[in-house]
Amino acid sequence: MNVTIENLAPCKKLLRIEIDAAVVDATFETVVKDFQRHASLPGFRPGKAPRTMVENSYGPRIEQEVKSKLINENYRKALADHKLRVVVSPDIEEIQFGRGQALQFAATIETEPEFDLPEYKGIPVKRESRATTDEDVTKALDVLRGQRAEFKDVARAVQADDFVVINYTGTCDGKPLTDFAPTARGLTEQKNFWVNIQPGQFIPGFTEQLVGANTGEKRTVSVDFPAEFVSAQLSGKKGVYEVEVVQVKERHLPEINEEFAKAFGAENLEKLREGVRSDLQNELNFKLNRAVREQIIRHLLDTVKCELPESVVNAETRNVVYDVVRENQQRGASKEAIEANKEQIFSAAASNAKERVKALFMLARIAEKEGIKVEQPEMVQRIHAMAQQYQMPVPKLVQQLEEKNGFGEVQEQILTGKVIDFLQLHAKVEEAPAAG
């Protein structure tokens, strides 16, 4: 076999492979004999038909099998001989094939990026020295109080901290806001809208102008939409709202006592505090741990410079775009709003995808060097956890993974996690003061 390699682009190569005519003819001989042993032709017992009849009857199939056998075997050998790590299926082009002549074919491939692994043991990271405080617990209990709050109507003028139910319509230069921002229907008109009378709520400067209003009163409220407003088309414009006060409500918070604790399933107030503190500490530990892991990945990304296979980056970019669009839709963003921001979404997704692909290649290389692998029990455990998360039977999830070839992605997630665990275990951690 003769192999020549041409570099087409970073991580993209053209392999030209030629196989001697003698090898081609020998393979034909082997395949014909195999067909002859299993051929079933009229008038002959299986395996007893003459060679000539077998070749006449199965000629196209014999040629196809010879070609596939030679291309597959020699393609794999060429990759192994030249230590090429291919990331996607090759594009094979047959150039010459037939009995008595050399087989020539070309394979366009994309390969893993070429880079030298940096020193990955002892990566310097900082971990904030933070612990859950009594103040944190008190704030969390206040949040729980808010969940049990009662709102009572009051027959007086609006005061700070009240909750007010209003009807409103908004305009800009005398035109509905939707003329400027078609997706801003909620900003243009609402009925029975609840708003807390605090600075910065809803639109900056809006709630302060309702102080002193009584139930049934109508007011004209003028606002300046901020430069970084959520609806970009309204940024920097002036809005005018016609507002009707429907109800004025006071919020009444429950006392933090034994009865309050039992309402949340705790044995007593002390147990509730202990549970809240434990939950807060677990959440804090997760955040601090995630920050350390992000520093490790960032160190690797900044240390290694390499080109990336285009097809892999493009595929990952599509995945990121899909995730971003889905998240925006779940938040209630309209198709029009997503379409208006598609360039920013794609640009951010492409950057994110490049870093993710680069990190995955580096982590996979570290796994290979350190002998880190994913064992079958780990796959089973992860699939059961996913089934519980998605609230579906395990067999149904397994079927979906099979249909979408998703087992590789699950394995990749587990492997990535194990490698980062390894790097974190060997990192050089410096305790740092808590950020202000």
How many other C-beta atoms lie within 10 A of the C-beta of residue 339?
A: 11
| CA gap 107, 1 in Å, rounded | 14
User: Is 208 in contact with 164 (CB distance < 8 Å)?
Assistant: no
For residue 58, name the pLDDT band (cuts at 50, 70, 90): confident
User: Is 27 in contact with 70 (CB distance < 8 Å)?
Assistant: yes
Nearest to 272 by CA among 401, 167, 138: 138
pLDDT digits (tens, 9 = 90+) for 250-290: 999 999 999 999 999 999 999 999 999 999 999 999 999 99
| CA gap 264, 254 in Å, rounded | 13
pLDDT digits (tens, 9 = 90+) for 15-34: 999 999 999 999 999 999 99
Q: Where are the domains of the chain?
A: 2-110, 150-252, 308-370
Write the CATH number of the domain with boundaries 150-252: 3.10.50.40
Whether residue 331 has pLDDT greater than 90: no
Give residue 230's pLDDT. Answer: 81
| CA gap 322, 339 in Å, rounded | 13
For residue 333, name the pLDDT band (cuts at 50, 70, 90): low
Give residue 250's pLDDT. Answer: 95
Nearest to 169 by CA among 83, 239, 119: 239
| CA gap 395, 387 in Å, rounded | 9
User: Is 259 in contact with 94 (CB distance < 8 Å)?
Assistant: no
pLDDT digits (tens, 9 = 90+) for 205-234: 999 999 999 999 999 999 999 988 888 889
Write the CATH number of the domain with boundaries 2-110: 3.30.70.1050
pLDDT digits (tens, 9 = 90+) for 370-411: 999 999 999 999 999 999 999 999 999 999 999 988 999 999
| CA gap 351, 347 in Å, rounded | 6
